[in-house]
Structure 1
Amino acid sequence: MFSNFIVAVSAVIPIFVLIGVGLFVKHAKLMTPTELKHMNSMVFKVFFFCMMFSNIYRANFEDGFDPSLVVFGMASVTALFLASVAFSLWFEKDNPKRGTMTQAIFRSNFVILGIPIVVNIFGEEAAVIPTMMIAAIVPLYNIYAVLELESFRGGKFELVPILIRVLKNPMIDGIILGALCRFLPFPIPDPILKPIAQIGASTTPVALIILGASFEKGGIADSRRDLWACTIARLIVVPAIMLAAGAALGFRDAEFVTLIAIFATPCAVASYAMAQQMGGDAPLAGNCVVFTSALSAFTMFGWIFVTKTMGLF
């Protein structure tokens, strides 16, 4: 039992220490909001590209990555999206809030937290599993988020522009280019590959620090009911259902922990920007990110500890 407790602590504490460093950066005013915005853009466009490229190019796919995990992940995200829409329609009458609630429930912070959770438990060699899942899940997150936000604000959903925007995503570009470079008749020279790998290795700590430094407080008086509904759904109800389904289908070890990273992590940071830009309730979206991120320090530890005790990894 104690060893399971140590595994859970080892998986969660490093993540929130780095977020805490970001909170200190914000409190000490070491970066201006403009500098944070530029830094966040650089992390997204450069660091994530290098991390995805390096993970895919150097991955050993002979270790037994199961394609059925991708199928299950995509099907589960789709089902979760539809269930989130149905719940929002039943629970809330205001369309901007409906759009924000839907996104808060189905879209997790898997992109930033997924790889560190798996790597903290299984080591760098297991990073290929969440990396491949990012390639499958990120396009769905983007397409479904735009679909529901446009629908709730009465806009027109245009698939082709969305797909083009997805293909311009630096994470997707890094995965595609890394996969293509594996087919080159010669290896990438080490003086080129090494700095790319070094940038990729620094992605997670820098992204988590920027995440902590970017947190904003907002009033919750007008949306307390919706906020707690989203928080409970995101951190408790969704992982309970999805992890039970994954366990029943036989996913174990790093694959199962990847499912924890997809379904038990807090609301995606990107959901705030999208709600702001597409007519959603931006204050509610921001509060969902802040509250689920803070409470996930306890709920993610709980899910990891319980499922480790059950022998699922």
Structure 2
Amino acid sequence: MMDNFWVALGAVVPLFTLLFMGLIIKRLRLMTETELEHTNRMVFKLFFFCMMFYNIYVTDLAHTVRPKLMLFGGLGVLAVCFLATALVCWGDKDNRHRGAMIQAIFRSNFVLFGIPIVGNIFGDSALAIPTMMIAVIVPIYNVLAVFILETFRGGRFALGKILLGILKNPMIMGAIMAVILRLVEFPVPKPVLKGIGQVAAATTPVALIILGASFKGGSFHNHLPQLISCVAARLVIVPAVTLSLAIYLGFRDIELVTLLAVFASPCAVASFAMAQQMGSDADLAGNCVVYTTALSCLTIFGWVFLLKTLGLF
């Protein structure tokens, strides 16, 4: 039992140590808001590109691509979004609430939390599998988020524009470039690849520190019932249902932990910015990010501890 406890603790403590460092930066005012925005943009456009490129380029794609895992992950996100839409529309009549709530329930911070969770448990050599999942999950998240938010503000859903935007996403560009170079067997010079690998290794630590430094508290009194519902759904209900189904279907070890990272991670940081830009309730979306991230230190620990105790990885 104690061994399982330490495995679970080792999975979450590094993540929240980095977030805490970000809070210290914020507290000591070591970076201005403008500097944080510029650093965050650099991480998104350059670091994430390098992370996706390196992790895919240096791995054996034949052993990394898991069609069953990718299919389950993609269909799982679609199913969660569909059910969340039905339940939210039944329980809340305010369209500004609806868009923010649905996005908070189905869209997790898999990129920032998923990769380190798997790495902390299985080691860096196992990162290729969750990295490949990013290439499936992120496009689905983006398309569904725009569709939901546009629908509830009465806007027009332009699929072509959305797909073009997804192709321009640095993570997707990095994955595509890595796959192409592997297929044509183009050798990237070792000194260049080493530099890219060093940036890739720094991506998660820097991104989590910036996330911690960017945290902002907000008033939640006007939407407390909605906030509680979203937090409970994102951290407890969604992982309970999806992981139970995954276990029933035979997913184990690194595949199961990858699915845990997809469905048990807190709300995506990008959900706040999109809600703000697309006429949804940005305060509710922002509080969902803050509170799910804060409480996920307990819930992710709980899920990892439970799965480890059951001998599923």
Alignment TM class, shorter chain as reference: over 0.9
Tell me what 2:26 maps to.
26
Deviation at 1:64, TM superposition (A): 5.7
Deviation at 1:229, TM superposition (A): 0.3
Deviates more, 1:80-89 or 1:100-109: 80-89
Q: Which letter does structure 2 place at the counterpart of 1:82?
A: F
Q: In 1, Cα distance between the equivalents of 2:303 and 2:11?
A: 11
Q: For 1:217, what is the secondary structure of its paired residue? A: coil
Matches within 5 A, 1:5-16: 5-16=5-16
1:54 pairs with 2:47: no
TM-score normalised over the length of structure 2: 0.99
Deviation at 1:67, TM superposition (A): 1.2
Deviation at 1:61, TM superposition (A): 3.2
TM-score normalised over the length of structure 1: 0.99
Deviates more, 1:65-74 or 1:222-231: 65-74
Post-superposition Cα deviations, 1:144-195, rounded to whole Å, max 9, x if no partner, equal 0000100000000010000000000000000000111112344211111110
Matches within 5 A, 1:201-280: 201-280=201-280
Instruction: Give the share of equivalent positions with the same residue, in percent.
Output: 58
Post-superposition Cα deviations, 1:244-289, rounded to whole Å, max 9, x if no partner, equal 0111111111110001100001000000000000011000000000
Aligned positions, number: 313
Q: Which letter does structure 1 place at the counterpart of 2:31?
A: M
Post-superposition Cα deviations, 1:93-147, rounded to whole Å, max 9, x if no partner, equal 1101100000000000001111100010001111111111100000000000000
Q: Which letter does structure 1 place at the counterpart of 2:25?
A: V
Q: Which letter does structure 1 place at the counterpart of 2:187?
A: P
Tell me what 1:304 maps to.
304
Deviates more, 1:179-188 or 1:48-57: 179-188
Deviation at 1:91, TM superposition (A): 1.5
Post-superposition Cα deviations, 1:27-71, rounded to whole Å, max 9, x if no partner, equal 111111111001000000000000000000001235464210000
Tell me what 1:287 maps to.
287
Q: For 1:222, what is the secondary structure of its paired residue? A: helix
Q: In 2, Cα distance between the equivalents of 1:58 and 1:250?
A: 28
Q: For 1:223, what is the secondary structure of its paired residue? A: helix
Q: Which letter does structure 2 place at the counterpart of 1:227?
A: L
Tell me what 2:128 maps to.
128
Q: In 1, Cα distance between the equivalents of 2:254 and 2:60?
A: 14
Q: In 2, Cα distance between the equivalents of 1:287 and 1:185?
A: 47
2:64–2:128 contact (8 Å) kept in structure 1: no
2:150–2:156 contact (8 Å) kept in structure 1: yes
1:39 pairs with 2:39: yes
Tell me what 1:161 maps to.
161
Indicate how the Cα distance of structure 1 residues 38 and 68 shifts in structure 2: closer, same or farther if over 3 A, else same: same
1:144 pairs with 2:144: yes
Q: In 2, Cα distance between the equivalents of 1:95 and 1:50?
A: 38
Q: For 2:183, what is the secondary structure of its paired residue? A: coil
Indicate how the Cα distance of structure 1 residues 217 and 64 shifts in structure 2: closer, same or farther if over 3 A, else same: closer
Matches within 5 A, 1:68-217: 68-217=68-217
* Residue segments in structure 1 that go unaligned for 5+ positions in a row: none
Q: Which letter does structure 2 place at the counterpart of 1:245?
A: L
User: What RMSD, in angstroms, separates the aligned Cα atoms of the two structures?
Assistant: 0.9
* Residue segments in structure 2 that go unaligned for 5+ positions in a row: none
Q: For 2:222, what is the secondary structure of its paired residue? A: coil
2:272–2:282 contact (8 Å) kept in structure 1: yes
Q: In 1, Cα distance between the equivalents of 2:253 and 2:4?
A: 14
Q: In 2, Cα distance between the equivalents of 1:185 and 1:259?
A: 31
Q: Which letter does structure 2 place at the counterpart of 1:279?
A: G
Q: In 1, Cα distance between the equivalents of 2:215 and 2:224?
A: 18
Deviation at 1:90, TM superposition (A): 1.1
Q: In 2, Cα distance between the equivalents of 1:146 and 1:204?
A: 26
Q: In 2, Cα distance between the equivalents of 1:107 and 1:178?
A: 26
Q: For 1:30, what is the secondary structure of its paired residue? A: coil
Q: Which letter does structure 2 place at the counterpart of 1:288?
A: C
Q: In 2, Cα distance between the equivalents of 1:157 and 1:186?
A: 39
Q: For 1:266, what is the secondary structure of its paired residue? A: coil
